[in-house]
Amino acid sequence: MEIGRNDEVIVVGGGVIGLTTALVLAERGRRVRVWTRDPVERTTSAVAGALWWPYKIEPLALAREWALRSLEVYAELAGDPDATGVRMIEGVLGEGELDGADAWAAGRVPGLRGTTEAEYGGAGLWARLPLIDMSTHLPWLRERFRSAGGTIETRTVSSLTEAEAPVVVNCTGLGARELVPDPSLRPVRGQLVVVENPGIDTWLTSSDAAGEMAYFFPQPGRLLLGGTADEGAWSLEPDPKVAEAIVRRCAELRPEIAEARVLAHRVGLRPVRDAVRLERELLPDGRVLVHNYGHGGAGVTVAWGCAEEASALASG
């Protein structure tokens, strides 16, 4: 079947949300172009630690549905980790309890159970979750999208009206603050330290009584240490004192981290909103605009579920 002009879609934004949405649309028979300011290697998504878990995202009930659908896809992709960057790795979600807010995951998340005292010195959950190496996964998404007939154009957009297609999908993340405009969108700054892996093969997330986060994620050839969540902070420059504090907090959980050689520092701005905006808007000229942004630090976690819903909105 020949794809006509009415099937054309422009997806604005080339991070994990934009690329996944574009891929789903292309594989459902649409002619899709992605407009992106930066190559995937320089997007906010490239900085993500990328452990699957719905982290601080609303509306929570929908987010869990999107996350569980994404979990199904990641579990399949983990069958070829070298190509997709997705691996199923065991670890500890500190401060989680199965009889509390995390009961939604029971029966759906592999290996989910309470931790033992030896595994974590407090309440926690043990689980086998997708851990995504974004340096591999984002290029894999890009190439699968191109294989489905999609095209990617590098361009800076100052207004969504520039995208002249019957359907436009807005996946611009923090950029939507100016493009929509949506002043409710705000940055939450996250800083990571990349170190040589001293032999750690499980991940861990933890939060102390003061709300300070500590987490470490083993990725191929390195260990990612985090992290921070600084509301309203726009700086992309790594703060040496913050980096030292991150290493210190992680070393309190695994002492061998203290001596690990630092390889790099990373900073990203999570696009946070009180609730994800995933909805269809009919423009005055009859064209369709679908918004899919505001996922905060859970973009990777909900990417596939949101992409499928955005695709349905684009078609409906």
Residue 228, marked binder: no
Q: Which DSSP symbol is given to 239? A: P
CA atoms within 13 A on the CB side of 246: 27
| H/E element, 152 | strand 151-154
Cis peptide before 54 (omega within 30 of 0): no
Strand ranges (E), 196-241: 203-207, 213-219, 222-226, 230-231
Residue 124, marked binder: no
Give SS3 for 299. helix
Cis peptide before 181 (omega within 30 of 0): yes
Residue 74, marked binder: no
Which residues are paired to 129 by β-bridges? 89
Closest CA to 299 of 10, 11, 20, 9: 20
Distance CA 42, CA 189 (A): 16
Residue 298, marked binder: yes
Residue 44, marked binder: yes
Residue 301, marked binder: yes
| H/E element, 23 | helix 16-27
Residue 297, marked binder: yes
Residue 115, marked binder: no
Distance CA 128, CA 91 (A): 6
- Find out whether 57 and 35 touch, Cβ atoms under 8 Å: no
Here the tokens at position 48 are 């993500």
Residue 310, marked binder: no
- Find out whether 194 and 217 touch, Cβ atoms under 8 Å: no
Residue 296, marked binder: yes
Binding residues for D-dopa: 215, 270, 297
Binding residues for FAD: 44-45, 157, 172, 296-301
Binding residues: 44-45, 157, 172, 215, 270, 296-301
